[in-house]
Structure 1
Amino acid sequence: MNNLQLPQKDREKEIDCLESFIKSDIDARELKRAIAVRMAISGNIYHKISKILGASKFFIGYWKKQFKTKGIAGLKLGHKGSKGYLTSLQNTEVIEWLKNKEYWNSDEMVTYLDR
């Protein structure tokens, strides 16, 4: 079943869900994915979407499939980065130390961090 065969109510529900996600504070990569999917679900042809967003037709199809199978969670970034080595207090102390320096020296910073 292609997108145009979905009942109008279901398409509108999906578009509303995507609109809410787009308006939230999201990463630019997630935003591009969501806009591509919203445009595809709205009935725009992939060629047109591809030209507007500078994305491949594969990109559009892939993220549309992810959205259809996993919902908004399928559009979100999977990698959130690694846990930092410093606590938030240590991080604040390092930043304050750097602010008080007239110049920065990487060897001096390594020594400071080792302490």
Structure 2
Amino acid sequence: MLLTRPDNLKTEQHELLAKLTAACPEMTQLAASIRGFAPLLTPHADNADALTRWIAQVRAADLPHLHAFTRGLDRDLDAVIAGVTLPYSNGPTEGVNTKTKRIARQMHGRAGFTLLRHRILLG
């Protein structure tokens, strides 16, 4: 529920989420951190500074799993900043790769390259 857009949650899910976050201070911090990170997923030029602020806020919280996440972000910070600031994505390429692999797995070696190529081009 924390990872779902609030607009997509049903009323009873909102109520349950409110009870869970009220009962546990860590859940309150986690929910706030997730809500703070979600806007960064829409590319914008100001997101680089916002990401730096978000990482600092998360490190100040007592959430070890998010600390591990921020360490991962730090390892490849240049790529992360490019991802949250630039409008470009390799999503379409990854989609084609996934589709090609799915078709190849469905065929499971029963046909040669010619049939695989034909199915990919028609798919």
> If the TM-score is normalised by the length of the shorter chain, which range does it land in?
under 0.3
TM-score (norm 1): 0.26
Instruction: Looking at secondary structure, tell me which structure has more helix per residue.
Output: 2
TM-score (norm 2): 0.24
